[in-house]
């Protein structure tokens, strides 16, 4: 029994895990791991590139460091931009709330006044009152989007 098994191993064609290229009778080129005709097939050498990541093909550390520095600078710039946008949004919301409150007070009051630097009330005329109301309305429109 052992001798039959050994004989079969010796007769069987060697098995390879390679990739083959061959051309059929119609001129079409094929690739595969089992060629149809072993005589017309050629084994294809496949090169594997193990170099991946940020380093370029030359693998120079200076280039890699430059790229990493640029990436870090971009992250810092994005963080600063987000901080600035957040601060502007907070300021806009605060101004919106202030303008809305002042506008509501202006609409609900019969008489409006302004305070002079020495602490005296100066009552507004109808024209001044309408101008102030218009100014507050524009402020609400501008800051409460």
Question: What does 30-44 look like in DSSP terms, one character per residue?
Answer: EEESS-S-TTT-EEE
Helix (H) or strand (E) holding 49: none
Residues 6+ apart with CB under 8 A from 116: 122
Its pTM stands at: 0.47
- The beta strands (E) that lie in 9-110 are given as 19-23, 29-32, 42-44
**pLDDT tens-digit series, residues 60-74:** 788 888 888 889 999
The band of 8, judged by pLDDT with boundaries at 50, 70 and 90, is: low
Q: Give CA–CA dist 3/131, Å, rounded.
A: 112
Q: Answer yes or no: is pLDDT of 58 > 70.
A: no
The per-residue pLDDT of the chain, averaged, comes to 81
């Amino acid at each position: 029994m052992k001798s039959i098994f050994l004989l079969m191993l010796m007769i069987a064609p060697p098995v390879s895990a390679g990739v083959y290229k061959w051309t059929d009778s119609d001129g079409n080129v094929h690739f595969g791991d089992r060629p149809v005709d072993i005589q017309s097939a050629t084994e294809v050498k496949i090169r594997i590139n193990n170099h991946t990541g940020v380093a370029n093909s030359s693998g120079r550390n200076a280039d890699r460091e430059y790229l990493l520095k640029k990436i870090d600078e971009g992250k810092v710039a994005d963080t600063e931009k987000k901080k600035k946008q957040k601060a502007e949004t907070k300021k806009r919301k605060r101004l919106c709330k202030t303008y809305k409150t002042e506008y509501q007070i202006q609409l609900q009051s019969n008489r409006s006044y302004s305070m002079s630097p020495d602490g005296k009330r100066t009552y507004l005329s109808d024209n001044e009152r309408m101008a102030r109301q218009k100014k507050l309305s524009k402020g609400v429109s501008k800051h409460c989007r």
